Structure 1
Amino acid sequence: MKIKDGTAWFGSPVRVLRPLDSARAREELNNLASLAAERNCTRLAALLAGKSALADFLGGVFDLSPYLRDCARNMPESLERLFEEPLGVRLLSLQEAICAVAFEPDASETSVMKALRRLKREAHFLIALGDLSGEADVEKTVQRLSLLGESCVKAAVDFLLLDAHRQGKLQLPDPANPAQGCGWILLAMGKLGARELNYSSDIDLIALIEPEAPAVPDPLEATDLFVRLTRRLVRLLQDRTEDGYVFRTDLRLRPDPGSTPLALPVEAALNYYESRGQNWERAAMIKARTIAGDVDAGDRFLAELQPYVWRKYLDYAAIADVHSIKRQIHAHKGHGEIAVLGHNVKLGRGGIREIEFFVQTQQLIAGGRFPQLRGRETVGMLSELAERGWITREAGEEMAARYWFLRRVENAVQMVADEQTHLLPDDEDELARIALLLGYEDGASFAADFRHALQTVEHHYAALFETAPQLSRGRGNLVFTGDGDDPGTLATLSELGFERPSDIARVIRGWHFGRYRVTRSAEARERLTELTPALLEAFGGTKRADEALLRFDAFLAGLPAGIQLFSLLQSNPRLLQLLATIMGAAPRLAAIITRRPHVFDGLLDPALLSELPNRAYLAERLATFLSGARAFEEMLDRLRIFAAEQKFLIGIRLLTGTIDAERAGKAFSDLADLTIGAAFDAVQEEFARVHGRIAGGRAAILGMGKLGSRELTAGSDVDLILLYDHAPEAEESDGVKPLAPSHYYARLTQRLIAAVSAPTAEGVLYELDLRLRPSGNKGPVATHIDAFRKYQRNDAWTWEHMALTRARPVAGDPSLCKEAAEEVQTIVSIPRDPRKIARDARQMRKLLEEEKPAKDIWDLKLIPGGIIDLEFIAQVAALCGFVSAEPRPTATGEVLAALSDSFADAQTRDELAEAHRLYMMLTQILRLCLTGLLDPDDVPPGLADVLLRSVDLPDLRVLEAHIRDTSKKVRAHLERLLKR
């Protein structure tokens, strides 16, 4: 047998994988060789201890992927078996074993959960090795993953059916084939339905019921029975145990998930789709496939649904609605170079979702007349679309090649740690890990290919939708001359989506009559005239066209000149679309650029969406921006201008999907650190000119709340504590107007508050809140470090210590910052009675709920199971020593992800961290786009699209149901974890 090159295992020589660290790779091989010898895996031990291409390959795998390394450590037998049973054959054996799990004579829920987890883990491990070795291409890999998912669901369903039969709740016609005639239908949706599952994907299912099925004793009780079985199915597949989990399972694609049971009668589902179904649900149903339960009944349901999914005739309005589906991901399409670091392979510019929408929208338009276009597989349908002339052959081939390339990248990203992520790493070293896993020599060569793939996808995607049918095309006039309304123009405006066409026509006539400074020159009016049709189509696409255009009108009114802007918008449709998105989806951002048009200049930077706004990036630009400032007042104005522009640009990156909520929170916080720090430096210099300095004087700012945890939003206030220290013998400052130390630092703090919070011609830098200082509003505004230390150790309440878990020095004297950080760590680490802390936290939470009840489900901070619950869990855990990460993080999401096993199990950690990601993403977008709370009955459609794209959900009802489900889980965890 050819062991050295891997032929015996994989059927062909293995691909070369260069490790990040050769010494570490060799060490991993030696460690595993020792373990293999202990477990009697003698051939594996010999292989790993020797030198061969196969050993080098395995060393690369284990160095590059901690998850696959841990799989090998936990089950070296899976590799030992490959000497007898090559990988492809072994996967077939595992497949048979999974299918047999339900039929074991002594099968129980516990035994089935254990068996499925172990078999799935081995198959998962081997599938990855097959992919990385080159034994399987990416198409074969996703098919294997899909077959694995399908088999696990089928085995779990078969067990639950047999269990219900044994208990007399079902009367199966043939227990040897439990699914036949059982009345329980499991539809696979999304990638599982299309047999395109990615490596760490969750699985989307819809559970349906056929109440009159032969196995159902009482049709009236069928819904309750199958809802219970569906709940057990989800628990059986996704609950984390010591053996891990099988698949995360998502049921939110069922009809109206916020108000329907987990399993829905077929007739109710058909009624829903035929009466209230939307185009995104039609698109989702393209991939639907019956994979478990009553397959015949499921196939009958899908056949009956065909006329709903595949319509033979579409009018203009329906076609426009189909194309509006893509607006859920359109906003991220920017201009200039595409970032690689931190890019979302699935949802980002030029990503997988664009290819899927590229295919699905064409299928929905043409599939009613051409049955050949009704397939589930993305690449297969690209070929059919090209064959029938809907797209060019070149577009089809290039999109197919890029689809498989991006799917390989997605799988590699997920193989590192078995995380359901689609984000490339945001630092070069970790990007190199992904590149090496994919067989590249280095990160740079991978980045070049990756960027080229995204650009190719984006090019074809944009070309497709630029030529999409529009209601305005060929349907009336756009005439804005004279004083009266042109009837044809009013009709066109109505068709475009404007509700008050006469008012809109009057506004546009004002532009062309030169009533604003921006349109006073003939050339500017000419450019705007040429731009107007594209503007109207863009604003009409926001679904709240009147508001969007009126905001744009207010923006124009404040501009000093317009030729450059109009030319730019005319030559850059994507920038125009981005402007329309802001005007239609983000009233707060629209108000900012209306009041301060200069912030829009930042959008002209071609590198805007390719550079992450990290601390170094912001610090460099701040230093450049402040370099010419001389006077104190000029410095403060420049800080306001810089912060306003950068807040806006961070917001644009968030709005377009270039960065996620976590990165936005860090960027907003870094911006606050830097600008408040610069203001503090300027204030100290200015203050010293009159009052001099204190001997040995040091001052530092302690960031609290969301600034301390680096989770600021676009509209956050900033919580601070100012600490100071000085030489023991110092009695007063040495300036022309000397002050005693306590008076000196109190006055200095008041000057800082004025410098940051007082409105000037350039607005406010930040609203400051100092109420978290010792003794709150009753205490001095500046606190000596010794007084701070004494108060926190002797007099502070539990809630103050909870707040201190998020504290972080953000500016000031470096030595005092270090001392303050060490003191905070010491105070937080003091041994405490967990029961007392939990009891105090519960009482505080109860009081908060009584005094500040949530207004509705969108009040994400205050709802039971909302952000405050997550913060309380994290803070209690930090105070009680239940956080495993070192150094202890201050960010709530990082604390939740690092909760110790003695406090929360892995599934609880995952659910809490996932809830925090959801809330942060929604909160960041809502605070960015709105000035107040969201009105769920009056959501700007553009904002709805942005929200849905950010969480990858298709409908606001689905999102609201997801928030409710999430909040219930969080509240249950809070009550359990704080009941100590």
Structure 2
Amino acid sequence: MAKTDMTLATNLSLPLSSTDEIVSRARQRWLRLTDHSPDQGLAEFLKTEQAKGETSQLLDGIFAGSPFLTDCLMAEPGILRSVVEDGAEHTIEQLLAETDALATDDRTRLMRRLREIRRKVALAVALADLSGAWSLEQVTTTLSRFADAAVERALAALVGEGIRRGELDLDPASPLAESGLIVLAMGKHGAFELNYSSDIDLILLFDAKIPYRGVEGPMACVVKLARGLQYILEHKTPAGYVFRTDLRLRPHLPGHPLAISTEDAELYYERHGQNWERAAFIKARQIAGDRSAGAAFLAVMERFVWRRHLDFAAIRDIHSIKRQINAHRGFATIRIEGHDIKVGRGGIREIEFFVQTQQLIVGGRDPMLRSCGTLPALHALSAARWVDQEAATELDACYRFLRATEHRLQMVSDRQTQTLPANEADFKRFSRFAGAAPETFSNLLRSCLETVERHYAALFEREPDLGAGHALVFTGMDDAADTLATLRNMGFRDPAAISGRIRAWHHGHIRATRSTRARELLTELLPTILNSLSRQHDIDAAFVLFDEFVSSLPAGIQLFSLFRAHPSLLQLVTDLIGAAPRLARHLARNNDLFEALLRPDFFDPLPPADALRAELRSLMRDAYELEEVLDLCRLWAHGRQFQASLQVFLGLSAFEEAALTLTTIAETIIAAMIPPAQRWLEAQHGSLPGGRFVVLGLGKLGSAELTTGSDLDLIFIYDHDDQARSDGPRSLTAREWYARLSQRLISALTARTGEGRLFDIDTRLRPSGTMGPVACSFVSFGRYHEETAETWEQQALTRARPIAGDPGLGEQIICVIDTVILRQRDLNALAQAVRAMRMRVFKQHGSDRPWAVKHVRGGLVELEFLAQYLQLGFAAKYPSLRRTATAAVFDAAATVGILTVEESAGLIESLRLQQTLQTVLRLSLADSFDAEQSPPAMKEALLRAAAGVSGRSIATSDFVGLERRLCNLQQTARSSFDRFCPPD
């Protein structure tokens, strides 16, 4: 849609003037009204306004285009005066206040007054809309607010009748407050998007506390209220109606009662709820009844609507509704005259489905995307980059134009219609009422509908070629000759074996294809799968790995739907199968990682620490119990950990960036788990006022060098009088209380649930190792490291730092650690102790293969030991060596002259290269790396990741050069270690 079109689309306002006979007759009626008005002030006002240019154009346009508004003007001329003199906002607020104050003790009088006010509201809103004074949001919000007020008054009247009959035991002064009754507005009403002559979609529920005292039962009572509510609002009297009321969105239980209990509703949605009902509940809002009961029910429904896993299967389910509408009503193509701008192609419903479907897919993971309003949700999706900014801008403009057109269609005769006139003369008349010349309006409308159709089709309507232009048939029991020829032409050496295995998939011989829908999706995907595999160096071997991948899936529909919606994701998976079979198997077992891959920012630079912390806080804003926190943390952590590791694998991020991200994830999660773990403990055993608690990170966590699959080395430290006791009924000593807290944290971090496991925890570095208490006091921690700790424990302490808990206690712990590390030591004795420990580790795990980068001589362990020796040996003289990160120690050692600049640079490069290669290898392989047997794609991944280390560019084909460089750097590290810690 062109920019000029979008400008026009938001500016339908004053109807075009007309001089036809209909207008002339209306003017005469208007003049007679002014001549015979008993209110002389009003008469003078009406005559004056009729003569004004803009008001005259507006009135003539209404006379020409809307019999309904013409009648409203004749019946309520005072509304025109109020809108002109006081403003539409003031007029509406007065009318809403009148509605809220309506007496409810006389049903007949209430029905009459609601209809009178509705007519006034309809006129005031139309004047503000047609004159261009109000935005779309002001129009729809006002209509929704009046609907809220009308429903609330009608329900209050009905409940009052029940009180007077003795059926309901409630306070007549506030009959709804504790009634247990819930009225939910659905659809446009719930989203404050009600259209001009809209039905209102309602659901009536009641909870267990309804104080019913009759003989029929609570359901019969509330069903009676539902019928009464429909009657009061939609029964047509000489004064008209208030709202047509639709109850068809209610839970479809047997017998279809008009109202059910919240308990029955929850069971229904849990067992039978469908995707279209999830979409409907995005806009659900309580508008009348017992507010606390309604809030509790909607809180329960959030789990039904918002699923933690991305749900791409919902796309086809939601789209099927639209296809059924098109098929039933013949709206499969765009036309202008006679086109339905709501459910026809390119219409309002397609914009709503475009937004709601993507909300269902990703809203469970991002609460910021749960807005009930169509346009706020569209722009939230755009801000989160699930929707392109240009698409959001165009759809916003189209939505506004179509809604403005919809309102004008309904203003004509106050009918719930979205169909443009099919007759040419009627279409021209309506175009002028809508504020544009017929040709201009027609062109603008067509451009708008085509724009919506284009964006909608891009999301929903990718229909694959099931044969990719060639024969690919895998049904029946025998191989099809044409299919075998196609597979052979694709490069498969054994097409019969491939065909047989795919037929086994189709026969449901694997878990992923046991449902009919999964097999249908797989049929659609097969051409793309096979074409993607044909890119691999060894297509037959790649197929075997893909077969392992798909055979290990626990289910197929969700993942196949996801592949169908995102073909590029399938291509990435097939590429990873060739380069990293271990990662592919891990993906098959953890579908949530695919969701992470679809994040719009997945391939962007890794987010900074503050952004990661804020992201988790946002996800956890509704989580309170430890189990909820755990599940959210697992999903979030797995996705962000996978992003960081895969970016190193793909050469998009340096190791140190990924390590910092992985470290921040661990720190953030541990910090997030302490409060709910403490609440759980306090509920069991009471609290310990005045106590302080810190989690100390060591090893790679302490040095911010975490890699994929790293354990977390932790020590739990508390500060409290050991003899103090908690204040609960099952009181514990401080030592016991903090031990329980630490155990609870360990269990939370290591427990395996449906969302997987967070971390493996190692607490053996605590004072006295496995023989010591799981949580140690601050005093005993300091005493142990001052008096008892061995050299290897002091080595570990060089990378220790507080990562969560009380900041004040954390600073005190750092002071203790610094005191230990900065102590003067005998360098010869230290060197012997460090080397002895290194050789002990090498004896147990050592290797002479250069690709065993952790334990080979000159590998990562040796580099870490060297950095620890430099700190313990020289930090007393050079406090600047007191760093937790290994590379930072080497850099500081060069600054003070312990290492040469060249030696320091070589050690840092060796460290970075081996850390990078370790990340790629851990993602790629379960076993050791064999350079001779590894597939070319894996070597390419190693070369790609290594190319960014220290800015060195290694040719993509020079794997031998990479191996030579690795060996040289390991020799440099080994020589440096041997120089400082020489063999005996």
Q: Report the TM-score, using the length of structure 2 for normalisation.
A: 0.48
TM-score (norm 1): 0.48
Structure showing greater Rg:
2
